Amino acid sequence: MTVMICRECGARIELRSRFEDNCTECGSDDLEVEDAYDPQEHELRCELCGLEVDTTTRDEEWLAEDEEMPTSVDDPCPRCGEALVPRSDARTPKEIPEYKLAREAAKKLHREHDIPGPPYQLDNLVRKLGLEVKIGTFPHEGLLVGDCIELPEDLSVVSRRFTFAHELGHYVLRHHGERRKVEPEANAFASELLIPRAELNRAIGQNPSMRAIAAQFGVSRQVVVYAVMSAKALSRLSR
């Protein structure tokens, strides 16, 4: 008896006859011997932003216009571009990003400080917090070094703003430890700081254009997608 794996739906099929050549679950004839390769994982999770993807649903409703549905761990996350891993690679609670905590920290800064915007200007806020900012030639894409945020001079304006907010998040959240935890939290912090959810909802109500929202808050389209998906408001946004 030969055990096959359906490459279309992932089902495991026991073939009792050499005349059987279709998946009993979905009818596909794209079968491969089980021992020939490692079974393909269909439930994936982004290591950086926490997005979860089920490749068997083929549901592209939440994707942006020019993005494709991931089909395996070989494809990047459609939200942030980082690596996808099998969801079965479970992490302990201490390793799971605390997105709500990160967003609340950003909301607290807005409540306690007068941050002009949008687009929200962070220079005065950073000085009040006792941080220094250096823009120059660095061997990284943005880094918090002690009480200094280093930003490469060749970053675009919108990329520099998000990197600025991201590194500020590391400082405010007092980050140390596992990258898979602290990086998503810094992204959530930066998103809420630059595009507060309440302001985002108002902006969508006034003009649901992704381009208009990106211009209003001075961020990239990718950052808008992240914020809108986090707010579960993608269905309200026009493309």
In this structure, are residues 78 and 67 in contact, taking their beta carbons and an 8 Å threshold? yes
Q: Which helix (H) or strand (E) holds 160?
A: helix 157-172
Range from 21-25, 109-113, 147-151, 178-182 carrying the lowest mean pLDDT: 21-25
In this predicted structure, what is the pLDDT of residue 34? 60
For residue range 193-202, what is the model confidence (pLDDT) as tens digits? 999 999 999 9
Q: Which residue has the higher pLDDT, 187 or 70?
A: 187
Residue matched to tokens 């998103």: 191
Top-confidence residue, 55 or 19: 55
Strands 148-152, 132-136: pairing is parallel
Is the predicted pLDDT of residue 63 greater than 70, yes or no? Answer: no
Rounded CA gap, 112 and 1, in Å? 69
- Residue-wise pLDDT tens digits, 32-59: 666 544 455 667 877 667 777 777 765 5
Q: pLDDT for 102-151, tens place per residue?
A: 999 999 999 999 999 899 999 999 999 999 999 999 989 999 999 999 99
Residue 61: the pLDDT is 52
> Residue 193, Cβ neighbours under 10 Å: how many?
28
Query: For the ranges 5-14, 54-63, 143-152, 227-236, which has the lowest average pLDDT?
Result: 54-63
CA 172 to chain centre: 20
Strand partners, 44: 53, 86
What mean pLDDT is predicted for residues 210-221? 94
- Alpha carbon distances (Å) from 163 to 159, 186, 189, 194: 6, 10, 11, 11
What average pLDDT is seen over the chain?
A: 82
Pairwise pLDDT comparison (82 vs 91), residue with the higher score: 82
Task: Return all residues near 224 (Cβ < 8 A) that are at least 6 apart.
Answer: 195, 210, 213, 214, 217
For residue 239, pLDDT over 50 is answered with yes
Q: Are strands 2-6 and 12-15 parallel, antiparallel or unpaired?
A: antiparallel
Judge whether residue 97 has pLDDT over 70: yes
Confidence of residue 180 (pLDDT cuts 50, 70, 90): confident
Give the DSSP H or E segment for 188: helix 179-194
Is cis: bond before 118, omega within 30 of 0?
yes
| Residue with tokens 């490469």, as numbered in its chain | 152
